């Protein structure tokens, strides 16, 4: 709920007074790439779509998870970003957070319902990437525990509701 309060801030509170409301701006992806939480917040407040994609189907959430920006990930998820979005390589925010070794981001995504069974174009799940660091890896342990409690899909990349 705290993230929603940030979106309800008065106009100009985050430097967004000169930003027109938009649903298609790539500025949100650029702000996420720069790690600029204040700008991301301002763009969302101005009406930017948290699910905007670039030519590679990359979303701001994909970028924030990949780069380990937990506060930005929280803000984007609270703003309605699709948590299991897959880019051109079928990489999800969870796979990227795991691959880049961002345990706090991976934990948050799992807690918010990210599907641990989704695979990338090489048929690797987040757990496969975590296990590259060994069985004792904290993300690998969390993913293994989560997968036990998550219904296994019948077909690859089939999303099941919990």
User: What is the SS3 assignment for 134-158?
Assistant: CCCCHHHHHHHHHHHHCCCCCCCCC
Q: Is 70 exceeded by the pLDDT of residue 19?
A: no
Q: Is 70 exceeded by the pLDDT of residue 55?
A: yes
φ, ψ at 56 (rounded to 5°):
-100, 15
* pLDDT: which is higher, 156 or 17: 156
Residue 137 backbone zone (phi > 0: left; psi -120 to 50: alpha; other: beta):
beta
Of 21-30, 36-45, 148-157, the poorest mean pLDDT is in: 148-157
Q: Is 90 exceeded by the pLDDT of residue 13?
A: no
Find the mean pLDDT for residues 116-144.
Answer: 95
Q: Where are the domains of the chain?
A: 83-162
Please state, rounded to an integer, the average pLDDT across all residues of the chain.
85
Find the mean pLDDT for residues 153-161.
Answer: 56
Class of domain 83-162: mainly alpha
**pLDDT given at position 74:** 98
**pLDDT given at position 85:** 96
**pLDDT given at position 149:** 73
Cα–Cα distance measured from residue 88 to residue 120, given in angstroms and rounded to the nearest whole number:
9
């Amino acid at each position: 709920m705290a993230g929603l309060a940030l979106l309800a801030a008065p106009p100009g509170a985050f430097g967004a007074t000169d930003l027109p409301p938009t649903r298609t701006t790539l500025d949100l992806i650029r702000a996420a790439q720069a790690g600029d939480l204040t700008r991301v917040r301002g763009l969302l407040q101005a009406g930017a779509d948290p699910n905007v994609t670039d030519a590679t189907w990359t979303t701001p959430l994909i970028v924030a998870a990949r780069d380990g920006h937990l506060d930005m990930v929280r803000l984007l998820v609270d703003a309605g970003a699709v948590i299991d979005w897959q880019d051109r390589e079928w990489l999800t925010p969870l796979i990227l957070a795991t691959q880049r070794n961002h345990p706090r981001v991976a934990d948050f995504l799992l807690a918010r319902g990210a599907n641990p069974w989704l695979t990338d174009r090489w048929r690797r799940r987040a757990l496969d990437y975590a296990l590259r660091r060994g069985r004792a890896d904290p993300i690998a342990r969390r993913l293994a525990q989560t997968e036990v409690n998550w219904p296994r899909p019948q077909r690859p990349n089939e999303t099941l509701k919990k």
